[in-house]
Structure formats: C-alpha cells, structure tokens
Amino acid sequence: MTLIVTYNIKWDSNEIQIKNILLNIQEILKIYDIDFLLFQEASIYIKLIKIIDSKKYNYYLNKSGPEHMITFYKKNYNKINVYDGEFIPGRPFCIFLFENILSKKKFYITNIHASHHPNTDLSIIKPIEKITKHLINDTDVFILGGDFNRNIITNIFIKTKNNNFKLKNIKNNSNTCCNLNINKLKYNFDHIISSSKIIKKITFNENYPSSDHILVIVELVDL
C-alpha cells in the first residue's frame, strides 16, 4: 500500500497552534509508514524540515506569492521531473513525476492549494493542463492532493499529450476545514484523488488547537 498525507497548516498559526501541528505530524509518522506528505501554507517549512527524518525523506519547496508549499517523499522514490505552477498568485501547485526505484513504476503526484473560484474546470484543471498537455508519459497513474477549497463529488479528468487520466475521490463525508474548533468544521475541502484505486481515507487531529484544517491520510494501492 501507499500512504499519502495532505495538510494545510495555516500560514499565520501562533506558537500553541504550531506546537500542535508539529505534534500531529510527528504522531502520524510514528503510527503510519507515510510515503508522501503534501503541505500547503507551509510558512513553518523550516520546522517541518527539522522534524521529518532526512535519512528517510527528501523534500521539495516551492512558492507562489507569499505562500510556501513543501512536499516530502521517501527516498525509495526517484523524482524524475517537477513543474511549479500557480492557480492565482499566492495559490501554488507542484506537479511531480516520480519513479518507484524498486518496481520502476512511474506516476504523477500534484500538491495543490486551489483558489475559491467555484468553476473547477477553469480554476483547477485548466492551469494544471497548461503544463501537462505538453507532457508525454508512460504511466497510467495521476494523483491530485491538497486543499481543493471545494468538495469533489464528480470525477476529474487531466490530460497529458498522450493520455487522459480519470481521477476519482473516495466517499468520505468527514469535514476537514475551516475552524480551529474541530466541532465546528463545515466543509470537506481536503482531498487526495487518484486514477489508481483509493482504499480508504483517514482524518487525524489529536492535538488541537492546531490548523483550521485537519490532517488527511489516504491509502492507495501500491505505487
């Protein structure tokens, strides 16, 4: 199995919130063998780099406007290519092409922080396809993960130059944002959707107040 985390960690978190954000991350890394960690609003990226085992993980940092985004990935995955982009200034995305070093299987993972524009095709798919439509690939796996700022209830299609990926969400009604009080979360905005099979989705927020989003873990078939 492959485990992917997404977590919007609130760029203006105070000291107590930062402490609990870091505790949440450290605890899930003790419980689960995570393959990829996708963070948005990562103003505390230096603290993240310090707590995530550098012997086990590499990372990639990108930025749009004032927002930092950071993605950690296990060292048994080879980063073949990476493409930075933005939906609007301050809302970045980052497309990775990875290869599993052991199996040689290739796949795309994209870390996103979408805008609030309600048209998903115009505000999310089209900006990503400005890059992907030029890419020729030999994989059938494309994954989008992050803060979508909307629920995803229909399939999403992403085109590359020689493929058309059908991305599905898993049925999960857990609200993941947007309040420091976990009992007042109203929206299901944080997702990991994939063209490969998703097995289950877990939310985690044992330490709070932390972010106004909660951490999401998704289990997929092996990549």
Going by CATH, does the domain composed of 2-220 fall within 3.60.10.10?
yes
Strand extents, DSSP E, 75-147: 77-88, 91-100, 106-113, 142-147
Question: What distance in Å separates the CA atoms of residue 2 and residue 85, rounded to the nearest whole number?
Answer: 25
Alpha helices in 40-184 (DSSP H): 45-51, 120, 126-132
Q: Is the pTM of this model over 0.75?
A: yes
In tens digits, what is the pLDDT along the chain, a chain of 223 residues? 999 999 999 999 999 999 999 999 999 999 999 999 999 999 999 999 999 999 999 999 999 999 999 999 999 999 999 999 999 999 999 999 999 999 999 999 999 999 999 999 999 999 999 999 999 999 999 999 999 999 999 999 999 999 999 999 998 889 999 999 998 999 999 999 999 999 999 999 999 999 999 999 999 999 8
Q: Which of 127, 180, 177, 181 is nearest to 150 (CA)?
A: 177
Q: Which of 8, 4, 24, 2 is nearest to 190 (CA)?
A: 8
- Sign (positive or negative) of CA dihedral 164, 169, 175, 176: negative
Cβ(200)–Cβ(222) below 8 Å = no
